[in-house]
Amino acid sequence: MSSLNLKADDSHRIQVSQLDMPPRLLLGPGPSNFHPRVRQALSANEVGHLDPKFIEVMKETQELLRYVWQTSNPFTIPVSGTGSAAMEATLANCVEPGDVVLVGVNGYFGERLCDMAERYGAEVRRIQKPWGEVFTLNEIGYGLETHRPAILGLVHAETSTGALQPMDGIGKLCREFDTLLLLDTVTSLGGVPVFLDRWHVDMAYSGSQKCLSCPPGIAPLTLGPRALEKLSQRKTKPANWYLDMTLLGKYWGDERTYHHTAPINMNYALREALRIVAEEGLENRWDRHRTNAELLWEGLADLGIDCHVEREHRLASLTTALVPDGIDSKEVASHLLRNYNIDIAAGLGQLAGKVWRIGLMGYNSRPENVVLLLSAMKKALEALD
């Protein structure tokens, strides 16, 4: 405002045009386009964050989250913030200074887990794989035996690489070493099979804007009994007041004690997004994502484009497509956005300039979107050749 040299009495001269955003088809790593029913839910009447009707919404949202995650954890809530807020909440509550935290790093978001854990005083150890590969059970077992961590952090669906980490047996190993298992399900929840209780996962978080097809700004979080026990036995308060689950638990639990003003309409949106998942059924939804991903992979192969991740460990909700030699990945992405209103993303971190990240998430995982994208990519590659 100061750069405009405005006075209080002439501020009415400011003119800003009406917001008019283009109709993008969001086929990148997130956000995805949200379902029309979610858009409608966003516009429902506001009530207070302690209103009895809103408390009903809270309870229903928690129950739906348990279904989508396949967990019975009572402490399952949406955090007021993006997926990174829920990510930080797991560490802020369950890491105390000096705790050894072992992180499986095979992409950008494993690195972020390391950074966050270190900020809360953890002694961070790593097991590493090249970006796009996954960890074997033996590799994880060796890491647990070597480092004896309080927490093992893994990214189930690595958004930077499109790799899906197999989970069978890892939770049981963690229990043998008295280690809590933390799992990032930001790009997997609602798109590929996730079984928190079967996998013995102690802490998990996700985001609303990926396979749940809800706007960003609210983030699922769940803490199992072992994580809650560690939280209750802390010698110090969690360093992050806003994300302190001992306080938030009183708002989301039976007490309904004020903590902060929850984003009312975002909770409406998440509830509706989860209701859509439940109506479709998890197995049907997982099958749909896989079928459309395979259609994409076949179409990319027809264009002479390979995928970065081996098929066995390829994520159905997000594909990293290798950029052919002599092609500028950013030019192709810009061409798609400019000419077709289709948004895909370039590579992140070590994969910058080497891949495109193509998301088929939630509401956007439909065959007509795959056909449209492949046709547009073919024309973009021909135009820029």
Domain count, the chain: 2
Residues 197 and 244 in one domain: yes
Residues 262 and 286 in one domain: no
- Residues 29/321, Cβ–Cβ less than 8 Å: no
Last residue of a domain, one of 278, 298, 315: 278
User: What number is the average pLDDT over the span 338-351?
Assistant: 96
- Residues 126/102, Cβ–Cβ less than 8 Å: yes
HSE on the CB side for 210, CA within 13 Å?
27
Note whether residue 14 is domain-resident.
Answer: no
Report the pLDDT value the prediction gives residue 2, as an integer from 0 to 100.
43
- 6 pLDDT band (50/70/90 cuts)? low
Domain encompassing residue 315: 25-31+282-384
Residues 197 and 238 in one domain: yes
Identify residue 27 by its one-letter amino acid code.
L
Last residue of a domain, one of 222, 251, 278: 278
Whether pLDDT at 4 is above 70? no
What tens digit of pLDDT does each residue of 14-46 get?
A: 788 999 999 999 999 999 999 999 999 999 999
Report the pLDDT value the prediction gives residue 14, as an integer from 0 to 100.
72
Q: How far apart are CA 112 and CA 127, in angstroms?
A: 14
Q: Does the predicted TM-score (pTM) go above 0.85?
A: yes
Backbone angles phi, psi at 207, to 5 degrees: -130, 160
Residues 106 and 247 in one domain: yes
Residues 267 and 295 in one domain: no
Residues 146 and 294 in one domain: no
Q: How far apart are CA 237 and CA 77, in angstroms?
A: 20
Q: How far apart are CA 38 and CA 216, in angstroms?
A: 12
Q: What is the mean pLDDT of the chain?
A: 95
Residues 41 and 135 in one domain: yes
Note whether residue 185 is domain-resident.
Answer: yes
Beta bridge partners of 152: 102, 181
User: What number is the average pLDDT over the span 192-215?
Assistant: 98
Last residue of a domain, one of 248, 278, 308: 278
Q: CATH no. for residue 169? A: 3.40.640.10
Q: How far apart are CA 77 and CA 59, in angstroms?
A: 9
Residues 270 and 297 in one domain: no
Note whether residue 147 is domain-resident.
Answer: yes
Note whether residue 1 is domain-resident.
Answer: no
What's the gap between Cα 50 and its chain centre?
A: 28
Q: Which residue has the tokens 């390391």?
A: 114
Residues 100 and 157 in one domain: yes
